[in-house]
Amino acid sequence: MVSVNSLAQAEALDAADLLAPWRERFSIPPGPDGQPCLYLCGNSLGLQPKTAHDRMAELMRAWAEQGIAGYFGEGGWGPYADRVKAPLARLVGAHPDEVAAANTLTVNLHLMLSAFYQPTAQRWKILVEEKAFPSDRYAAASQLRARGYDERAGLVELSPRHGESTLRTDDIIATLERADDVALLLLSGINYYTGQLFELEPIVAAAQRRGIVVGVDLAHAIGNVPLELHRWGVDFAAWCSYKYLNAGPGAVGGLYVHRRHHGVSSGRLEGWWGYAPEGRFLMRPWFEGAVGADAWVMSSPPAPMLALLAAGLEAFEAVGLPTLRAKSLGLTGLLEQRLATLPAGQVEVITPSDPAQRGAQLSLRVGAHRKALYQALTARGVVGDWREPDVIRVAPVPLYNRYAEVWRLVELIRELL
C-alpha cells in the first residue's frame, strides 16, 4: 500500500478506483447533516443495492400475474434457488451442488450440527473459539444438551494467549492435535469481534488428521475474503447474506456440504423440498434426497428473499471477488496506516496486522471508558458499532466505501480524542 499523507492523496486513489462507480448503485443513508453518512457497518448490515427494487418488483409482478404458475412459469420465481447457486459456489470456493440458499444462519447451523455432530463415547466435545458469536455458542451448547451431555463440560474454548487478543494458528493446531475427546470444531471464518480471519487450510488439515469434523460459520467471511471450502476439505458451512452480500435484513442464508458427505443421510433432518426434484411432486411416503446440498433444503424457497439475494449477488458476479479483495486490502490497509498516526496508547487495533488474517473490518479497542468517543462519532455521521466491553468495529466495504471516507474517519477520531 502506497503511503497516503493527505486527504487529496486519498481522493486521488478514489479518482483512480475502477470500482468507484459502484457506490452510486447503493442507497447510502443520510447522516445527521443530511449528507450521506460515513457507513462503515457493512459487516453488520450491507447497504441496499438499488436493483433490489427491480428484482422485488419482478417477483411481485410474477405473483400477481401468474399466481401458482409462477412456481413453474416463464419469468416466475421457480428458478431463483438454482440461479443463485453458481454465484454462491464461486464466493465460497465450492461446486454448485455443494451449496444451497435456504433458511437463516442459526437455523442452518442447527441443521448442520444435527447431522455432523456425531459424538462417540471417546469423542463427544465441541470446540469453539472464545468470543464466538453468541448464537453459534448457543447452537453448539443446545446441541450438546439435546444429546444428553452437560454443555458446560462439552463446549471447549480456544483462547488466545495471555495478553493477546487473537488466536495463533499454531496454537489452534496444537490444541487439535491434543484433543482426544473432541468430535467437532465449529469455527467462524472471520471472528465477528476481533475481525481475525482464520487460516482454514492448515486448521482443517490438522482437524482431519485427528478425525475431527470441521464446520465453519461464514457470516463475516462470505463476500469479504476469498474462500476455498472444497479444496480445504471443510465438512460443512453456513452463512447469512445480510452482511457483505447486501441481501437485506433477514435475508435467506446459505449452507455448504462437502461432496464427500453427499448421499450420507445419517442425522440429516429432512423435508419435502429436499426431495430429488424429479420426484418431489410424486408425494411418496419415503424420502429420496436430491443430489448434494439441495437434500438439506427442507421447505419451499422464500422467493422474495431469493430475489433480494440475487440483487445482492449481481455486484459480485460483475466485479469478481479478487478485484473486490484487492480494493478491500487497500482500504483496510489505509485505515490501519492512518490509525497508526494517532497519539500512542489511545486506540489499539486488535485485528491481526497480517492482511492474510483479516478481511475488511478492523476492531479498535478504545477502552471501556471511551464509549463517549463512539457516541460522538455517531453524532458526526459515522456508522460503525460498539461491542462491549470496549471495542468499536469499522469495516470499509470495497463496493461502496471510499479511501477519502477512511481518511475522514481517522481525522474525526483524532479530533475527538
- Note the residues at the interface with ligand PLP (CB under 6 A): 104-106, 133, 135-136, 188, 192, 217, 219-220, 240
Q: How far is the CB of 204 from ligand PLP (least distance, A)?
A: 18
Question: What DSSP designation does 70 have?
Answer: G
Q: Tell me the residue ranges of DSSP E strands in 229-361.
A: 236-239, 254-257, 348-349
Residue with cell 442447527: 110
Check residue 395 and report its DSSP letter.
B
Name the residue nearer to ligand PLP (CB basis): 108 or 410.
108
CB environment 349-374: b (16+ within 10 A), e (fewer): bbbbeebebbbbbbbbbbeeebeebb
- We find the least distance from the C-beta atom of residue 85 to ligand PLP, in angstroms, to be 20
CA–CA distances in Å: residue 331 to residues 58, 67, 169, 225, 343: 35, 46, 25, 14, 21
The Cα 70–Cα 64 span in angstroms is 9
In angstroms, the CA 84 to CA 313 distance is 8
Q: Which is nearer to ligand PLP, 339 or 383 (CB)?
A: 383
Least distance to ligand PLP, CB of residue 221, Å = 9
CA gap 411, 4 in Å, rounded: 13
Smaller CB separation from ligand PLP, 385 or 411 = 385
In angstroms, what is the minimal distance from the CB of 91 to ligand PLP?
16
Please tell me the distance from the alpha carbon of residue 7 to that of residue 129, in angstroms, as a whole number. Answer: 39
Residue pair 374/386 in contact by the 8 Å Cβ criterion:
yes
**CB proximity list for 383: less than 8 A, separation 6 or greater:** 29, 31, 37, 38, 39, 40, 41
Smaller CB separation from ligand PLP, 116 or 192? 192
Question: Is the CB of 347 or the CB of 397 nearer to ligand PLP?
Answer: 397
Nearest distance, CB of residue 348 and ligand PLP, angstroms: 22
Amino acid identity at 256: Y
- CB 387, min distance to ligand PLP, A: 11
Dihedral sign (CA 190, 45, 365, 410) = positive
Half-sphere exposure of 179 (CA within 13 A, CB side): 29
Closer residue to ligand PLP (CB): 70 or 351:
351
Q: In the complex with ligand PLP, which residue's Cβ is closer, 26 or 192? A: 192
Is the Cβ of residue 13 or residue 360 nearer to ligand PLP in the bound state?
Answer: 360
Which regions of 149-305 does DSSP assign to beta strands (E)?
A: 155-158, 182-188, 213-217, 236-239, 254-257
Find the shortest distance in angstroms from Cβ 393 to ligand PLP: 11
Q: Minimum CB separation from ligand PLP for residue 258, in Å?
A: 20
- Beta pairing class for 213-217 and 182-188: parallel
Smaller CB separation from ligand PLP, 204 or 334: 204
Check: CB of residue 287 under 8 Å from CB of residue 270. Answer: yes
In whole angstroms, the minimum distance from the beta carbon of 218 to ligand PLP comes to 8
